[in-house]
Every structure is written in C-alpha cells, then in structure tokens.
C-alpha cells in the first residue's frame, strides 16, 4: 500500500552544472520497473533546483525534486531565506524539514519545524519530517522520549487526512555521515515506534505515512533495512552523491 521512497539529500554539495550531470547519470541507470517500484527524489542545493527542473522536464525523467529546507513565512524581510512558494514553482514536490543538521547547527526548534511543515503543506508539497536522537541521548536511554516529542510536535495541529500524506525520516544523529548504521532490527523498531507516535496524534493516518530510515545507508546495508515492515524507504546522504552508488541503493532488491 505504501510505495517505497528513496530520497537523496545532497546537502551542500553540487553546483548547478554538476547537478545536471548527476541527475542525467542517475536517470540512465534506472528503468521503468525501478520507478514502478520506488519513488526517487533528489534534493540538490537551492541554486541547482532550476537546472534540475529543466533537465527533468526536458527529458521527461521520473526522478522527482526535493528541497533541503525552506523558511515558513510567505514573503517579506527575511534576508537570505527562501519561501515554500519559491521552490514549489520550480516543480519541487518534497521538502526536508527539521534535518538534524538544521536542528543542531542552525538552532531549529520543534516549534519552527512544525511551522515549516505546515507551510510546506500549505504550498502543496510533501514535507519530509526528520527526527532522531543524538549519541548522548541514546546512551542516556532518552531516544524514545526525544524522537517521540519530535514526531508529535512536528505534526501538531495538522489534520489527520493531511498527515497521511507526509513522510517522516528517522535519522539517528550518531549514524549520519559516520558509516555507523543502526542495525536493521534497531532501525526497524524505531520506525515502528515513529509510526505509533503518529498514531497517537493522528489515528489511522499513521498507516499511510511513509517512514524512512536515514544514516549511512549504502548499497550493502539497504536491503536489510528495507525488509523491515515499518521502513518504507531511505533518506540517503553521502551514498546519493555518486549516481552509480545511488542507483545501487535504489535497486536494493537486485
């Protein structure tokens, strides 16, 4: 019922010229059956979205576009920020909100993340709400408390019917960019926990929400992760920067 979704988060990598090549190379490595099985999204930097849109539309590619962040205001005196509408007009379909790098390095609180998620929905796009505990929180046995709060506050105030369309990505901070993946069992049970937290707020909408795992996903570990009943896809950082490697992640069952 829930279609697999694999999202490449390129972070602060790739100029617009590199992005064109990366999108084209990735598309050559995927075929119709891959797209039937998995929705594929790439999230290049803002400066490359227009170029990516152009190549996707000109070549009728099935790869979809995501943005890594947006501001939650519609417009105004917010120097350096980008509004949801600005990216929506570039055929962006997904927006990552509350990535741990934004929470940790740029001070985003659960309240800000909730405002962004609401603004992304209002602009007609799908938010990818990122949640996850730090190593310290894990070691002090507060992972459930932290992740539960991030999920519940992230979706607070959103109608259950709308919640059904969102994506939540469980990304343990200690697994991001470290090569230390959560074991498939641990990742699977945390993603089940995430879904149950959505159920507490939004009832049966939880069954439709796609829950992704992120944190050092690579071609070697992806199949084990995807086999878990509550993992509906992956949010992939480093391994999404090389089109060959990313294609191997997307074709995880082969």
Residue ranges binding ligand 13P (CB under 6 A): 9, 99, 171, 176-177, 214-217, 235-239
Helix H or strand E encompassing 47 = helix 46-58
Residue closer to ligand 13P by CB (options 84, 132) is 132
Q: How far is the CB of 165 from ligand 13P (least distance, A)?
A: 20
Per DSSP, what are the bridge partners of residue 96?
128
* Residue tagged 């929506």 (tokens): 88
Residue closer to ligand 13P by CB (options 202, 238) is 238
DSSP H stretches of helix in 107-251: 110-122, 135-139, 143-154, 160-163, 184-202, 222-226, 243-250
Q: Which residue is nearest to ligand 13P (CB)?
A: 237
DSSP readout, 79-120? TT---HHHHHTTTEEEEEES-HHHHHHH---HHHHHHHHHHH
Q: How far is the CB of 18 from ligand 13P (least distance, A)?
A: 17
Residue closer to ligand 13P by CB (options 164, 239) is 239
Burial group, residue 124, by CB count within 10 angstroms (0-12, 13-18, 19+): exposed
Q: How far is the CB of 160 from ligand 13P (least distance, A)?
A: 26
Q: How far is the CB of 213 from ligand 13P (least distance, A)?
A: 10
Per DSSP, what are the bridge partners of residue 212?
169
Burial group, residue 35, by CB count within 10 angstroms (0-12, 13-18, 19+): middle
Residue closer to ligand 13P by CB (options 201, 250) is 250
Helix H or strand E encompassing 6 = strand 4-9
Active site residues: 99, 171
CA 105, chain centre distance (Å) = 18
Residue closer to ligand 13P by CB (options 26, 201) is 26
Q: How far is the CB of 236 from ligand 13P (least distance, A)?
A: 5
């Amino acid at each position: 019922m829930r279609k697999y979704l694999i999202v490449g988060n390129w972070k602060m990598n790739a100029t617009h010229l590199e992005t064109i090549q990366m999108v084209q190379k990735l598309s050559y490595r995927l075929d119709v059956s891959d797209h039937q099985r998995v929705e594929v999204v790439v999230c290049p930097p803002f400066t490359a979205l227009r170029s990516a849109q152009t190549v996707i539309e000109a070549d009728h590619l099935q790869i979809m576009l995501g943005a890594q962040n947006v501001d939650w205001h519609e417009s105004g005196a917010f120097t350096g920020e980008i509004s949801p509408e600005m990216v929506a007009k570039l055929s962006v379909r997904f927006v990552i909100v509350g990535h741990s790098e934004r929470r940790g390095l740029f001070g985003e609180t659960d309240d800000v993340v909730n405002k962004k998620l609401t603004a992304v929905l209002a602009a007609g796009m799908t938010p990818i709400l990122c949640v996850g505990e730090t190593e310290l929180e894990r070691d002090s046995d507060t992972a459930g408390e932290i992740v539960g709060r991030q999920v519940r506050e992230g979706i607070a105030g959103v109608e259950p019917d709308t919640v059904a369309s969102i994506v939540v990505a469980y990304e343990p901070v200690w697994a991001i960019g470290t090569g230390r993946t959560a074991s498939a069992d641990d990742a699977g049970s945390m993603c089940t926990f995430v879904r149950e937290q959505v159920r507490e707020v939004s009832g049966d909408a939880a069954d439709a929400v796609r829950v992704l795992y992120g944190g050092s996903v690579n071609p070697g570990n992806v199949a084990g992760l995807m086999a878990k009943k509550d993992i509906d896809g992956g949010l992939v950082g480093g391994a999404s920067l090389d089109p060959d490697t990313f294609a191997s992640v997307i074709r995880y069952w082969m």
